[in-house]
Amino acid sequence: MKNIHKIFSDWNITQIIILEKFGVKVEEGYDSFILEEGEVYNSLKPYLDKWHVRNDTISQFSDQDLNNADRLVLRDVWANSYPMPDGDGGYKKLTYEDTDYCTECGVGLLQKEPFRLKKEPNWGNKKIFSLNWIYDELFVERSFYETLLKGYEIEAKPVLLYKKDTIIDSVLQLVIPITSASLQLDSYAFEVCKSCGRKRYALINHGFFPPFEEHSDESRHLFKSNEYFGTGANARRYIFISSELRKQLEKFKVKANYIPCS
Ligand SMILES: [Zn+2]
Give the per-residue pLDDT at 205: 86
Mean pLDDT for 86-91 is 92
Beta bridge partners of 60: 2
pLDDT band at 89 (very low <50, low <70, confident <90, very high): confident
pTM, 2 dp:
0.89
d(CA 131, CA 169) in angstroms, rounded, equals 17
- Whether 32 and 145 map to the same domain: the answer is no
- Say whether both 232 and 170 belong to one domain: no
How remote is the CA of residue 59 from the centroid of ligand 1, in Å? 30
Looking at residue 247, its pLDDT comes to 96
Please identify, among 119, 153, 175, the residue that sits at the C-terminal boundary of a domain: 175
What percentage of the chain has pLDDT greater than the value 90? 95
Confidence (pLDDT) at 217:
80
β 239-242/54-60 pair status: unpaired
Parent domain of 101: 80-175
pLDDT at residue number 175? 98
Protein residues within 5 Å, CB atom, of ion ligand 1:
102, 104-105, 193, 195-196
| Peptide bond before residue 85 is cis, with ω within 30 degrees of 0 | yes
Q: How far away, in angstroms, is 226 Cα from ligand 1 center?
A: 16
Q: What per-residue confidence (pLDDT) applies to 80? A: 95
pLDDT at site 194: 97
Residues 82 and 92: their CA atoms lie apart, in Å, by 12
State residue 133's pLDDT score. Answer: 94
The rounded Å distance from CA 139 to ligand 1 centre is: 27
Query: Looking at the structure, do residues 138 and 189 belong to the same domain, yes or no?
Result: no
| Euclidean distance between CA atoms 173 and 130, whole angstroms | 10
112 and 161: one domain?
A: yes
Quickly state the pLDDT bin for 216 (edges 50, 70, 90): confident
Ligand 1 centroid–CA 15 distance in Å is: 41
* Res 136: pLDDT: 97
Kindly report the average pLDDT of the chain as a whole number. 95
CB 79 within 8 A of CB 256: no
71 and 189 inside one domain: yes
Q: Do 186 and 247 reside in the same domain of the chain?
A: yes
Which pLDDT score, from 0 to 100, does residue 243 have?
96
Q: Are residues 140 and 192 in the same domain?
A: no
CA distance 54 to 97: 38
What phi and psi values does residue 207 have, to the nearest 5 degrees?
Answer: 85, 175
Average pLDDT over residues 36-57: 95
| The amino acid at 251 | K
pLDDT tens digits for range 97-153: 999 999 999 999 999 999 999 999 999 999 999 999 999 999 999 999 999 999 999
Distance 84 CA to ligand 1 centre (A): 24
Predicted confidence (pLDDT) at residue 36 exceeds the cutoff of 90: yes
Name the domain count of the chain.
Answer: 3
Distance CA(61)–CA(25), nearest Å, equals 27
Could you tell me if 42 and 70 lie in one domain?
no
Q: How many residues are listed for the chain in this entry?
A: 262
pLDDT in tens, 154-210: 999 999 999 999 999 999 999 999 999 999 999 999 999 999 999 999 999 889 999
User: If you average pLDDT over residues 4-24, what whole number do you get?
Assistant: 96
Contacts of 174 (CB under 8 A, 6+ apart): 137, 138, 139, 140, 145, 149, 154, 155, 156, 222
Strand order through the sheet with 139-141: 78-79, 128-130, 139-141, 167-175, 155-161, 116-117
pLDDT level of residue 214 (50, 70, 90 thresholds): confident
Looking at 150, 175, 200, which one is the last position of a domain? 175
190 CA from centroid of ligand 1 (Å) = 12
Please say which residue of 175, 201, 223 terminates a domain. Answer: 175
CA 196 to ligand 1 centroid distance, Å: 4
Buried b (16+ CB within 10 A) or exposed e, 211-244: ebeeeeeeeebbbbbebbbbeeeebbbbbbbbbe
